A and B are shown apart, each in its own frame.
Chain A
Amino acid sequence: MHQVILDRLEEYLSGSPSSREFTTHLESCEECRAEVQEMKELSGALSALRAPEEITPSLGFYAQVARRVEAQRPRSPWSWVWLEPAFGKRVAFASLMSLVVLGSYLITRETEYSAGPPRPEAIMAQQAPADNPDMILATLASYEP
């Protein structure tokens, strides 16, 4: 296609009045005429993709989009704690509570261990060779309080 046609092609296809230079060239140049004709036909065909009528989005459309976003959000093992603040806070509180309970349990146990003389199974475990578990089992089995 020649430059004179290329320059004004879009105007021509939109239906704007074409310049004399444009029409004169089209009349004399067979090659451009054929190509422009084909493009004009396809340009008309594209209008078939115009929406036939308006569709009004439903009132809850944004809520649906938000739900889809949540469903598609990439999740790392920890990200969910921060994604939903209310849920995250509850989880954090629950974790803190378990730590407190576990901590107080361990402290109680520690106190039990340290009170009174060391128990025989602890001493035997320390004395048994670490690389031979059978030995430990045998020693423990032979222990009678």
Chain B
Amino acid sequence: MGTLTGTLPLPAFGSRVAVKTRVDYQNSQEGALVRRAQSGDEAAFREIVEHYQSKVFSIIHGIVRQRNDVEDIAQQVFAKVYFSIRNFDFRSSLITWIYKITVNECFDYLRKKKVRKLVYESDLSEDEVRRVENTEPSVDRQAPADETLARRDYVLKLLSRVSEEERTLLLLKEVEGRSVEELAQMTGMNENTIKVKLFRARQKLVKAAQRLDRAPGLVAG
């Protein structure tokens, strides 16, 4: 397939780039490392962990901010990497794939934390809940003193309304500062596809923001 697309003139410029990237990547040093990890080589897996652990820590820290939980989430991310590396198909780069797992794990953590909080609160009487609300600074119910925290909370709510792929693309573009060209290389998609996907994701964010501003209580979370 690689040779065919390499020699035949293709109408879409982007798809030729994608195939080329995929073939190159598989033959790269990192591609070889991934293949070793896929065959169960523990040293290769360790190399992957040690190479990407700092990056994973900073992604998690940016989204979750709970310093104490960062390491725990990071462990879970690499456990997921370990168990699913066999499914890695070289369509995207390894860091894009790890990035997606990390972001998903963060949102999973935030969702579970919210459920835990609701369960905890439901065990209290109405009076007790009111007392907790008045004494505990809760990001969900009161305007937090820290403006940055409020913005973060707001953005996380919006991002929970888009698909995993859209979330990953938006974060790679806005938080990691990757260009459309880089995103195309990282994901194996063509630049036009990236633009359209980002545009749809942004449209969803705008709509979610409008709903949230209109009825904060209904969309919150």
Contact = CB atoms under 8 A, between A and B. Distances in A.
Interface stretch (A35-43, A91-99, A102-110, A123-131): A35-43
A10 interface: yes
Interface stretch (B4-12, B51-59, B111-119, B123-131): B51-59
Interface of B: 46, 49-50, 53-54, 57-59, 61-63, 65, 67, 70-71, 74-76, 78-79, 82-83, 148, 151-152, 154-156, 158, 170-171, 173-175, 177, 179-180, 194-196, 198-199, 202-203, 205-206, 209
B57 to A, nearest CB: 5
B200 to A, nearest CB: 10
B170 A57 contact: no
A35 B203 CA distance: 8
**Top 9 A-B residue pairs of the complex, sorted by shortest distance between their CB atoms:** A46-B174, A51-B62, A51-B58, A48-B151, A48-B152, A51-B61, A65-B78, A57-B53, A68-B79
A58 B158 CA distance: 32
Residues of A contacting B: mostly: helix
Interface of A: 1, 6-7, 9-11, 14, 35, 38-39, 42-43, 45-58, 61-62, 64-65, 68-69, 72
B155 A51 contact: no
